[in-house]
Amino acid sequence: MPTGSRRGSPPRPPAAPRRRGARRAPSASSTRSVGVSVPKLEGYDKVTGRALYVDDLRVPGALHGRTVRSTIARGRIRRIELDPAFDWTGVVLADHKDIPGENVVALIEDDQPLLAAGEVRHADEAILLVAHADPERAEAARQAVRVEYEPLDPVLTMEDSLARKAVLYKRDNVFKEVRIARGDAAAALARAAIVVEGRYRTGAQEHIYIEPQGMIAEPDGAGGITVRGSLQCPYYVHAALMRVFALPPERVRVIQTVTGGGFGGKEEYPSMIAGHAALLAWKSGRPVKIVYDRGEDIAATTKRHAAMVRIRSAVDAAGILLAHDIDVVMDGGAYLTLTPVVLSRGALHAAGPYVCPNVAIRARAVATNLPPAGAFRGFGAPQTQFAIECQMNRIAERLRLDPLELRRRNAYEVGDVTPTGQTLRESVGALDVLEQAAQRAGYAAKRARYARDNAAAARAERAGRFGPGERRLRRGIGVSLVFHGGGFTGSGEVRLASRAAMDLTGDGRPRVLMANTEIGQGTITVFAQIAGETLGVPAELVVVETPDTAKVPDSGPTVASRTVMVVGEIVRRCAAGMRAELEAFAGRGWADGEGFRRLARRHLARRGPLRVERRYEPPPGIAWDDAAYRGDAYGVFGYDGCVVEAEADLDTGEVRLLHVTTAVDVGKAIHPVLAAGQIEGGTAQALGYALLEEVRVKDGRVWNQQLTNYIIPTAADTPPIDVILVEKPYSRGPFGAKGVGELPFDAPAPAVVAAVEQATGARFDEIPVLPERVLRALAAKERR
Amino acid sequence: MAAVTLRFTVNGKARRVRVPPLKRLLDVLREDCGLTGTKEGCGEGECGACTVLLDGRSVNSCLVPAVQADGARILTVEGLARGARLSALQELMVARGGTQCGICTPGILVQAHELLTRARGRVPSEAEVREALAGNLCRCTGYQKIVDAVRAAARAGKQPEKRSAPRAGKKPAEKQPARRPARKPPAKRRAAKTAERGRR
């Protein structure tokens, strides 16, 4: 069922924008807010400059930390020399020997050190820390440290890693291998009349949150440590610091500051920078601030995994998929970080949202001497779905079938079974998003028109009817269909066992206590809506506590499209519990926010604090076998159908994007404007991935460390984006909501490539589609 | 380098600072004036998070040495609201979802304010807004809701300069004060970017 859209009006009129100062007072506005785009509560401080990000915090007596990093990709550290000519007065130095606990950034495996000890495994790996009260002196001190290496031959490509040019990890350089099998793909491919084969590559990608990474650490005066900073997952940092300092949980405190974007880049890396700041603070006894500049941030922090995917597909003459044999390789970089889970999600999405009775997937992630790859919006799924979507277009071409029609014939519906044997029981919007995006974009008519126009232009050119100075511009339109599982993979949510709570503030306002962070998505607003609607109070009355490990329970990380869908449901249950408690206490309900507060204050006076805590409960009937990779990989999937129109210049190879239409099944849009904002933002980021963004490496170092040469889309590069919200409610999400954070990233790249393929008549199996790739592909087409 | 004394106004308020002459205007605003609304995203004039108006013209304050601000009128994000009352542009950026993580928002608001001031009540086209904001990178929104908010503010606000650039009223905003003819605001991102892409 289609509901709100960017151009359509929301189901209820939004409340009047509130002024600052009206913030604390209960509002007379509606107690029904789910589905309404109330003004974003986080917005007011951000438009006035009042919001304080980590670099905005002034800490008296603070030192400024800098990091000495490896200049080579692989080698042994022979000697570290401090320039004797430099004045080292007031400089604090720390290396791995200063670590009171373990030299490890704890995550899945303990392979990554906080500071290199003896050997370096990637360029820009942290070796030594310096700090000084004057940031310029700290920087000068950093430059006065000389590291002598015994270089070793680095492994810089996936191919070299697979060929074991050097052995970096265990015996075979393979961080993780995943195999998924359904039916008998080999037999089906052997007997099929039509077999299509393709090989696809996707590059690494840098997050470019506009706020670089930063952290402030302070000794707490009682043998513990407190860090504040820009991060997604306070309890990841908490766990990592406990290991580095050998401290019990209560001696480590982690507080999120207003965070200027994350996209996965502030999922695991903040544990590293927090550990560095905390080590300098530990050693000096003073507060220490480390804020990266852009160059350091691009060079040293994690990237999206580069990938190569080979697919062989069997299909019948009617365009029904018979089999896929899929081989995925991802570049994990020098340390394992989150790579096994990224690979897993990639493999689980590798066959796309299509029914296929015989599927064999083999996915491997390998070690290289590049900076570690890590979490980035989509988490493996954009890479594999780029490949399968391009493959679907190759199949359509072979069958002379429209790509939209091929997708229509194979897309998931309720009752279909995935390669892991998961039956899709509910909330399957694949066909809806496909049809609605195609219809809104006028896909069929434009596809036909561009084909005619491009053929006519080619004829005119051959006939010599082509004016001098005339630009050879061609247009194309492409479609893609993707899905994305919400929440942690497999039994991940059960293992996380997230807890969230609600209590009452002293003045009788309901307060949400959870560790999930606002990093731009609107977490505070949406959780105020979920709690407010459940309690029967306006969203503005609800307080959402700052993520601070001293105050909030561990509701798990802000990742994996899980915050609203998984934690939102836990908070909804907390609110329902609080409502029941207060109704039982009063023997009646309340009409509005003021009524709630009166009752809440009476409860506080008579019975003391009220706190309701709930834990994650797995949906009934969900089962996952991690050893066999069988069962319900995710509670539910979201679906995105995307249509991209593009114009290519056949002489310069430049591609201009004209328009994007994207229909997304979000289950339920709790806040339509914010949901559309996630979709537009994810779409634009993926347009950059498809067309502009290339991490270039020279001798293992990221060569383009600036925004001058690592290019992300500007407002002028980004076309108008038309969002259609489709709502196929999920019975286990709050008010029917499913995850939406990552899904929109999966769809655009293959649709861009399809549009450029129609415009140019050339074929592309690698992104980004840079002008030089377009020109090479056009030259290859001429030779054919 | 010896410190120099500079005088300028920020958001209508006279300021006197004693700083090294080549200290970045960005740091002068953040450290010496305590105005941390202006952000640093790249330090090289590419991202526009540090955009402020210098005598009515947008500049990347990370590229402006303090000495160039001597005698100037500076407008930062903190100067857009009148007291507790937000400008139409600020209200609409919140209501339309034009701010997500918010780190680019101050620069975008200042840049859009310049555009609206120059437009003098005319509603700029979508393409015009996109071009004007091409020097301000945002990684969260995909720009659509920012563009929508700016155009809605043009329709609603009409004369934004009345409120937040009180001393700019009579002069055309683009005009350079005669006594500093050499100063040139840094080229904004779009041109540099296109050239770069051409080179690759």
Q: State which amino acid sits at residue A390.
A: C
Nearest CB to B144 within list A14, A209, A721: A721
Nearest CB to A40 within list B41, B97, B131: B97
A718 touches chain B (CB under 8 A): yes
CA-based nearest distance A362→chain B, Å: 33
Spell out which residues of chain B touch residue A19, defining contact as CB-CB under 8 Å: 84-86
Cβ distance of B47 and A210 shorter than 8 Å: yes
Cβ distance of B142 and A263 shorter than 8 Å: no
Cβ distance of A39 and B103 shorter than 8 Å: no
d(CA B73, CA A697): 44
pTM, two decimal places:
0.93
Spell out the residues 6+ positions from residue A242 whose beta carbon is closer than 8 angstroms to its own. Answer: A101, A248, A249, A252
Q: Residue A738 — very low, low, confident or very high, per pLDDT cuts 50/70/90?
A: very high
Cβ distance of B102 and A258 shorter than 8 Å: yes
Mean pLDDT value across residues A763-777: 98
The length of chain A is: 784
pLDDT score, position A784: 76
Cβ distance of A258 and B143 shorter than 8 Å: no
Mean pLDDT rounded to a whole number for chain A: 95
CA-based nearest distance B181→chain A, Å: 28
Residues 149-178 of chain B with CB under 8 A from chain A are: none
| Between A408 and A27, residue with greater pLDDT | A408
Cβ distance of B147 and A40 shorter than 8 Å: no
Evaluate if residue B189 carries a pLDDT over 60: no
d(CA A514, CA A54): 21
CATH 1.10.150.120 fits B88-164, yes or no: yes
**Four-way CATH pick for B1-79: 3.10.20.30, 3.90.1150.10, 3.10.20.600, 1.10.1840.10:** 3.10.20.30
Could you tell me if residue A223 is left (phi over 0), alpha (psi between -120 and 50 degrees) or otherwise beta? left
Mutate to test the interface with B, among A19, A23, A47 (most CBs of B within 10 A): A47
Nearest CB to A711 within list B39, B133, B193: B193
B143 touches chain A (CB under 8 A): yes
pLDDT score, position A263: 98
Nearest CA in chain B to A711: B193
Spell out which residues of chain A touch residue B133, defining contact as CB-CB under 8 Å: 714-716
Q: Residue A16 — very low, low, confident or very high, per pLDDT cuts 50/70/90?
A: very low
pLDDT score, position A273: 98
Q: Which domains occur in chain A, in start order? A: 2-13+25-51+498-615 (3.30.365.10), 60-149+219-284 (3.90.1170.50), 411-488+630-783 (3.30.365.10)
A42 touches chain B (CB under 8 A): yes
pLDDT score, position B1: 64
pLDDT tens, position by position, A123-140 = 999 999 999 999 999 999
Mean pLDDT value across residues A222-227: 96
Cβ distance of A680 and B141 shorter than 8 Å: yes
Percent of chain B surpassing pLDDT 70 = 78
pLDDT tens, position by position, A18-37 = 333 333 333 436 899 999 99
A53 touches chain B (CB under 8 A): yes
Q: Residue B184 — very low, low, confident or very high, per pLDDT cuts 50/70/90?
A: very low
Q: How far is CA B193 from the centre of its chain?
A: 20
CA-based nearest distance B45→chain A, Å: 9
Spell out which residues of chain A touch residue B46, defining contact as CB-CB under 8 Å: 706-708
CB pairs under 8 A between A and B: 198
Helix or strand (DSSP H, E) at A689: helix A672-691
Mean pLDDT value across residues A57-64: 97
Percent of chain A surpassing pLDDT 90 = 93
pLDDT tens, position by position, A492-531 = 999 999 999 999 999 999 999 999 999 999 999 999 999 9
Cβ distance of B86 and A48 shorter than 8 Å: yes
pLDDT tens, position by position, A631-647 = 999 999 999 999 999 99
Cβ distance of A209 and B101 shorter than 8 Å: yes
B101 touches chain A (CB under 8 A): yes
Cβ distance of B140 and A677 shorter than 8 Å: yes
Q: Report in angstroms the alpha-carbon separations of B77 from A177, A660, B119, B133.
A: 51, 32, 19, 15
A721 touches chain B (CB under 8 A): yes
In degrees to the nearest 10, what's the CA dihedral of A242, A245, A250, A254? Answer: -70
Q: How far is CA B115 from the centre of its chain?
A: 10
Cβ distance of B99 and A40 shorter than 8 Å: yes
A56 touches chain B (CB under 8 A): yes
* Helix, coil or strand: residue A598: helix
Domain definitions of chain B by residue range: 1-79, 88-164
Q: Residue A726 — very low, low, confident or very high, per pLDDT cuts 50/70/90?
A: very high
A143 touches chain B (CB under 8 A): no
pLDDT score, position A341: 97
Lowest mean pLDDT among A28-42, A265-279, A285-299: A28-42
Does the CA dihedral A722-A728-A731-A732 come out positive or negative?
Answer: negative
pLDDT tens, position by position, A418-472 = 999 999 999 999 999 999 999 999 999 999 999 999 999 999 988 987 767 788 9
Nearest CB to A39 within list B44, B95, B192: B95
* Helix, coil or strand: residue A248: coil
CA-based nearest distance A345→chain B, Å: 23
pLDDT tens, position by position, A652-683 = 999 999 999 999 999 999 999 999 999 999 99
d(CA A349, CA A388): 9
B191 touches chain A (CB under 8 A): no
Q: Residue B135 — very low, low, confident or very high, per pLDDT cuts 50/70/90?
A: very high
- As for the ipTM of the complex, it is 0.95
d(CA A54, CA A172): 42
Spell out the residues 6+ positions from residue A50 whose beta carbon is closer than 8 angstroms to its own. Answer: A44, B37
Evaluate if residue A596 carries a pLDDT over 60: yes
B140 touches chain A (CB under 8 A): yes
B90 touches chain A (CB under 8 A): yes
Question: Bridge-partner residues for A131, per DSSP?
Answer: A65, A92
Q: Are A348 and A633 in contact (CB under 8 A)?
A: yes
Mutate to test the interface with A, among B10, B75, B80, B100 (most CBs of A within 10 A): B100
Helix or strand (DSSP H, E) at A80: strand A75-82
Cβ distance of A677 and B40 shorter than 8 Å: no
Mutate to test the interface with A, among B101, B128, B145, B197 (most CBs of A within 10 A): B101
Spell out which residues of chain B touch residue A706, defining contact as CB-CB under 8 Å: 42, 44, 46
pLDDT score, position B98: 98
Q: Report in angstroms the alpha-carbon separations of B150 from A138, A529, A659, A724, B154.
A: 42, 27, 20, 22, 6
Cβ distance of B105 and A718 shorter than 8 Å: no
Spell out the residues 6+ positions from residue A107 whose beta carbon is closer than 8 angstroms to its own. Answer: A236, A240, A268, A271, A336, A337, A338
Mean pLDDT value across residues A719-735: 98
Cβ distance of A37 and B97 shorter than 8 Å: yes
Nearest CB to B103 within list A261, A294, A770: A261
Cβ distance of B139 and A259 shorter than 8 Å: no
* Helix, coil or strand: residue A385: helix
Residue in the structure block whose two tokens are 């415009």: A759
A48 touches chain B (CB under 8 A): yes
Of A75, A39, A213, A52, nearest to A148 (Cα)? A75
pLDDT score, position B181: 31
Spell out which residues of chain A touch residue B142, defining contact as CB-CB under 8 Å: 677, 680-685, 718, 721
- Across A752-772, b (16+ Cβ under 10 Å) vs e yields bbbbbbbbbbbbbbbbbbbbe
CA-based nearest distance A463→chain B, Å: 30
Cβ distance of B142 and A682 shorter than 8 Å: yes
Of A85, A233, A689, A191, nearest to B142 (Cα)? A689
* Helix, coil or strand: residue A422: coil
pLDDT score, position A21: 34
Mean pLDDT value across residues B47-72: 98
Q: Residue A308 — very low, low, confident or very high, per pLDDT cuts 50/70/90?
A: very high
pLDDT score, position A464: 84
Nearest CA in chain B to A707: B46
Sheet containing strand A321-333, strands side by side: A174-182, A358-367, A321-333, A307-315, A194-202, A766-767
Residues 757-776 of chain A with CB under 8 A from chain B are: 770-772
pLDDT score, position A245: 98
pLDDT score, position A469: 73
pLDDT score, position B158: 58
Spell out the residues 6+ positions from residue A503 whose beta carbon is closer than 8 angstroms to its own. Answer: A510, A511, A513, A609, A610, A611, A612
Cβ distance of A673 and B106 shorter than 8 Å: no
Spell out which residues of chain A touch residue B190, defining contact as CB-CB under 8 Å: 714, 716
* Complete DSSP assignment for A463-497: TT---TT---EEEEEEEEEEEEE-SSSTTHHHHH-
Q: Which two tokens stand for residue B133?
A: 């904001």
Nearest CB to B84 within list A20, A258, A709: A20
Evaluate if residue B87 carries a pLDDT over 70: yes
